[in-house]
Amino acid sequence: MKYAIAALLLAPVLAPVLAVADDDPVPSAQPVPAVEPVKTAEPVPESVPAPSPDELAAQIDAIDQDNRKLARENKNQDAKIQELSKLKSLSRYINVFVDVGAFAVGGDGSGIRPDIGHVYFPEYEGRIAGQWVFMGDPLSTAVNSLGEPSDTSTSREIDRDTINSEGRPSVLVNTIGVTISRYIAGGVSVSAFAMLLPRAEDNLLDIQLATISYRPLDDKNLLLEAGKVDSVLGVEYRVQDATRRKGVIPSLICRYTCGRPFGVRAQLTEGRLTTSATLTNGNNFQQIFERDLMLKSNGLPTASGHVQWMLPVGQGLELGVSGAIGPQDGQSELSVRQWHYGFDARLLDFHSFDITAEFVQGKQPGKTESMTECDAAPCLTYKGAYLLIDRYVTPKLIPYVRFDWRSAVHIRGTEFVYESHTFRTTVGAQLEMTSQIIGKLEYTYNRELGGIPQFPDDIVTTSLVVKTD
Amino acid sequence: MRRRLLCLVASWVGGCWTEEPLIHDAFTAEQWAKLQEDYRPPVAPDPCEHLPSAAQDRPYDCEAAARFGQQLFFEPKLSGPWVKPDLGKPETWYPTAQTSCSTCHATTLANAAKDPAWYTDIRAGNAVSQGASNPTPHNTLSLVNVGVALAVDDDGQEVLRKWYGWTGEALNADKAIVDCNTPNDIVNKIALPKAMQSDAEIVGLAINKTPAYLAAYRDVFGQDAPTNAASIQQNVYVALGAYMRRLVSIEAPFDNFIRGKADAMSPSATRGFALFVGKAMCAECHRGSMFTDDDFHVTGVPDATLDKGRGGTGEFYTVTLRNIEKTGPYMHKGTFMNLGEVIDFYSRGGGAWGGYTGHLDPLLQPFELEPEEAEDLQAFLVALTGLAVAPELRVDTHHVPSVPRRVP
């Protein structure tokens, strides 16, 4: 086969030479009589003198050299074809995508404002400086699927202002994603997902997933994983990456359910029931802004679980409940336990509609070591929900609307408090130009609740995802 | 809805999202209203209010008391210490009479030509005076606005300072720590006994030996000076208080700005105010009409002597920022010579160089300040400079005995 390919590749090159060679009645390896004239297919014009024996010998030498050269090239081509054949199999387990977007966010690009003068939250006066009483949600001005806010302003909790737009519209390479996965043998496979984030101050490499998977049973749909694994909470984590997400930006509660912690994970599907569980180093919070907590150890792992029942409505109505409990991250006392629970529902392809809804609630009780409450570990209470409705108008065009809400209070000693009470409405459309090119455009209206003044932080963002798989 | 759609279309143009217009590009209406309330311009004090009672509660002429107080403010004869006479002279001690209030709290004649309006010690090489924790020297505090109330409550009553001096305390005769809650306490417990090394007897002597002061005393209190030195000293406090309550400098550009006159301050100073109450967090301590929380904090000012401050905690008083441009050097040790150094110090979170007593106040945290922001902040501080103290109050009126003309 390879010789056939080589022949095809080399045909244009070899054709003239082969033509000459085929016409040559004398094999190049045989000696040519010095005195006999060379017979040609056509009579030699009388005006052209017959070549001398020396000239013929020179021509034969030249042809001989060309043959040797072609033989070498042929050999090289064979080697290249073999290399290409080896590389061709790689495309089966390496996939790449690039997500490019443009965005504009109101105000200074951030989703928080300080309560200067303790006007709106006077209960913190004398305890936390007004500049550090933050109103709003620092991640509510996310502009891409990672949830990166366009600006973090003077946030004290999120010290990595990766985009730092300061309210200016901008174009951004949101993500360069590389997925590697390969089946090894005996039900074992490995996979990894890395993201490259080109940013102004610091190009980031974020290893999102790195798992060894094992399917031990042939007759059961049981999957065991170890490494940096997916969360099991809710449903949004399954579609959080740009290639899978409907829409551009994550919901306000994705930060609690879309993390990819280190640990072990198991998932078993029996008929309509799917059960998932993890034991992980820490919670399931997104960690892109908390790298120092990625390898945290709390002495005991965090246990998380999700149970889902599928009902025969449309293409399936998934109803799920999930929860997590474990020592609070960022401190070493085992008795300080964080907890989380949530409900989720997803209706697939019901009269061309997909509907997804989630509710979560959780608490980190914090730890106090001095006179100031929550000084050793922050206190966090949160609850939130979202409803996403999308419809396949055509197989390629998917308009969608999402309502999401989050109410949370996050305090660390005298350092900061976030009073986050936000309701958002997102409308957008997704156009799948081909199976490998997806365009998205959406507008998000941020509405502050809980007595927080309205400030400009609405978002227009786009995303163009091109992927190889 | 139409507006939202327009915003969608015009998003790249920007500026569609302003749900609530920001005042001075920084504050919501509610925040601005609270700032206007919190930083309401101060009111010039009634010069005859809140003065200590005269001896035997006798009524006195407040105006005449202020004039008398001005004379005494510049009068070095009120100071000690007692010294032995030279050999060959009568065996009586006498006060050295070298130090007046104005020695530390008024510009010298040499500096008067530069800026005579500000009563503070700005003499090079003498940035500190004997202070509350004698012998620990402290930077001399300005007496301008010392009588201005922190605020006026809803009933029209003045809210006075609770503390005076860098530490709000002094040592009494028994070396016990006592609070300084009035200006009178400062004079009685620190200024006279410590800085001027004086006592009631010296004060009585200064009055009784000076006919001009005896006459002034009579004008003020309606009677001759008594032989009781303690009574004279009490009435001297009355006179000094009546004078110092007139040392007022308010109506700074900021006061008009906070009343609502937007152009009363430069754009730079306006931005500086937003920083002052915002990112720089100066307002957490320097708040209110007089820009002080009337409290004590450990700010971590480097101090080779490890001054222990109030009660040994390392805390020092939050001084007013009014006229701060005129009252350098700064901090309790006079460590920083200009406002730029002070801003740099606080932007590093205070205490950056170590060498201080106590635990740094948690309110002090580093913050990033661009060079232009530092300039804005400084411009705002300069905008706290009020109208100069009345010229007639800056005149040294203390009695100078005339030199007898030599008869040829």
Does any CB of chain A come closer than 8 Å to the CB of residue B63? no
Task: Give me the interface pTM, i.e. the ipTM.
Answer: 0.74
Residues of A in contact with B38 (CB under 8 A): 117
Comparing alpha-carbon positions, the chain B residue that sits nearest to A128 is B363
User: Which residue of chain A is at minimal alpha-carbon distance from B365?
Assistant: A415
CA distances (Å), origin B355, targets B303, B306, B314, B343: 6, 7, 11, 19
How far from chain centre, in Å, is Cα A201?
21
Residue A194: both structure tokens together:
């890395």
Q: What is the pLDDT of residues A162-191, one digit of tens each?
A: 888 889 999 999 999 999 999 888 889 999
Between A47 and B290, residue with greater pLDDT: B290
Amino acid at B223: Q
**Is A109 at the interface with chain B, CB within 8 A?**
no
pLDDT value for A411 = 95
Check CB contact under 8 Å for A106 and B18.
Answer: yes
- Going by pLDDT thresholds of 50, 70 and 90, the confidence category of residue A18 is very low
Q: Whole-number mean pLDDT of chain A?
A: 86
Task: For chain B, give the number of residues.
Answer: 408
Most confident option among A30-44, A320-334, A355-369, B179-193: A355-369
Chain B environment of A167 (Cβ under 8 Å): 14
Q: Which residues contact B136 (CB under 8 A, 6 or more apart)?
A: B305, B307
Residue B135, preceding peptide bond in cis (omega within 30° of 0): yes
Chain B residues touching residue A112 (CB < 8 angstroms): none
Residues of chain A with Cβ-Cβ distance to B284 below 8 Å are: 129-131
CA distance A121 to chain B (A): 11
Decide if A130 touches B, using CB distance below 8 A: yes
Q: Which of A419, A426, A428, A424 lies closest to A451 in space, CA to CA?
A: A419
**pTM value surpassing 0.90:** no
Identity of the highest mean pLDDT range in A44-53, A286-295, A326-335: A326-335
Question: Per the omega criterion (within 30 degrees of 0), is the bond before A53 cis?
Answer: no
- Please tell me the predicted confidence (pLDDT) of residue B18: 45
Per the model's pLDDT, the better-predicted residue between A428 and B9 turns out to be A428
A-B interface: how many C-beta pairs under 8 angstroms?
Answer: 77
Query: CB–CB of B256/B387 below 8 Å?
Result: no
- CB contacts, 8 Å: A454 with chain B: 19-20
CB contact, 8 Å: B16 with chain A? yes
Is the CB of A460 inside 8 Å of chain B's CB atoms? yes
- Shortest Cα distance, chain A CAs vs residue B283, angstroms: 8
Residues 6+ apart with CB under 8 A from A178: A94, A95, A96, A193, A194, A195, A196
Inter-chain touch A453–B34, beta carbons under 8 Å: no
Q: Answer whether A293's CB lies under 8 Å from A329's CB.
A: yes
Angle between the B211-221 and B62-73 helix axes, to the nearest 10 degrees?
150
For tokens 């400084």, the residue is B378
Interface with B, mutate which of A112, A115, A119 (most B CBs under 10 A): A119
pLDDT digits (tens, 9 = 90+) for A143-161: 999 999 999 887 777 777 8
Nearest to A169 among B12, B31, B283 (CB): B12
Q: What is the pLDDT of residue A99?
A: 97
Question: Which helix (H) or strand (E) segment is B66 a member of?
Answer: helix B62-73
Interface subset of A 337-376, CB within 8 angstroms of B: 372
pLDDT of amino acid B402: 66
Compute the C-alpha angle A448/A170/A401, nearest 5°: 45
Closest to B55 in 3D by CA, of B272, B220, B202: B220
CA distance B146 to chain A (A): 25
| Other CB atoms within 10 A of residue B117 CB | 20
Task: Give the closest of B12, B363, B367 to A414, CB-based.
Answer: B363
DSSP string, B254-295: HHHHHHT-GGGS-HHHHHHHHHHHTTT-GGGTS-TTTT--S-
State the pLDDT at residue B46.
87
What pLDDT, in 10s, does the model give residues A60-94? 999 999 999 999 999 999 988 888 877 666 667 89
Contact B76, B106 (CB under 8 A): no
pLDDT at A31 over 50: no
Residue A49: asked if its preceding bond is cis (omega within 30°), the reply is no
What is the four-CA torsion angle of B36, B41, B46, B52, rounded to 10 degrees?
A: 80
Contacts of A308 (CB under 8 A, 6+ apart): A273, A274, A275, A276, A318, A319, A320, A344
The answer to whether A338 and A356 are in contact (CB under 8 A) is no
3-state secondary structure of A317: strand
Which chain B residues contact residue A429 at CB under 8 A?
A: none
The per-residue pLDDT for A132 is 92
Nearest CA in chain B to A448: B19
Q: How far apart are CA B235 and CA B68, in angstroms?
A: 10
Provide the 8-state DSSP code for B195: I
> DSSP of A160-214, one letter per residue?
--SS--TT--EEEEEEEEEEEEEEEETTEEEEEEEEEE--SS--EEEEEEEEEEE
Q: Is B1 on the interface with A (CB under 8 A)?
A: no
Q: Are residues A245 and A397 in contact, defined by beta-carbon separation less than 8 angstroms?
A: no
Across the interface, which of B17, B362, B367 has its CB nearest the CB of A456?
Answer: B17
B129 phi/psi in degrees, rounded to 5:
-130, 175
Q: In a 3-state reduction of DSSP, which class is residue B241? A: helix
- Taking the C-alpha atoms of residue A298 and residue A289, their distance in angstroms, rounded to an integer, is 19
**If we measure between CA atoms, which residue out of A469, A467, A463, A468 comes closest to residue A439?**
A463
Sort out which chain B residues have CB atoms less than 8 A from A130's CB and list them. Answer: 277, 281, 283-284
Cβ atoms < 10 Å from Cβ of A8: 9
d(CA A349, CA A344): 17
Among B20, B6, B28, smallest CA distance to A460 is for: B6
For residue B366, give the chain A residue with the closest CA.
Answer: A156
Largest Cα–Cα distance in chain A? 117
Count of positions (residues) in chain A: 469
The C-alpha atoms of residue B300 and residue B348 are separated, in whole angstroms, by 11
pLDDT at A434: 93
- Within B189-338, residue ranges assigned H as helices are 200-208, 211-221, 229-244, 253-259, 267-277
The rounded average pLDDT for each run of 10 residues, N- to C-terminus, in chain B (408 residues) is: 53 48 88 94 88 85 93 89 68 75 63 44 36 54 87 82 88 78 81 82 91 94 87 91 90 96 96 94 93 94 83 92 86 87 94 86 88 97 90 83 57
User: What distance in Å separates the CA atoms of residue A141 and residue A104, rounded to the nearest whole number?
Assistant: 10
Least confident of A190-199, A288-297, B211-220: A288-297
**Would you state the pLDDT for residue B328?**
77
Is A363 within 8 Å of A380 (Cβ atoms)? yes
Q: How far is A461 from chain B (nearest CA, A)?
A: 10
Taking phi over 0 as left and psi of -120 to 50 as alpha, with beta for the rest, B175 belongs to left
Q: What is the C-alpha to C-alpha distance for residues B342 and B139, in angstroms, rounded to an integer?
A: 15
Q: Are A304 and A232 in contact (CB under 8 A)?
A: yes
Cα distance between residue B110 and residue B243, in whole Å: 23
Helix, strand, coil in percent for chain B, rounding step 5 = 35, 5, 55
Residues A319-342, mean pLDDT to the nearest whole number? 91
Confidence band for A295, pLDDT divided at 50, 70 and 90: low
Average pLDDT over residues A231-247: 94
Q: Which of A409, A450, A455 is nearest to B20 (CA)?
A: A455
Nearest C-alpha neighbor of A321 from the set A276, A281, A270: A276
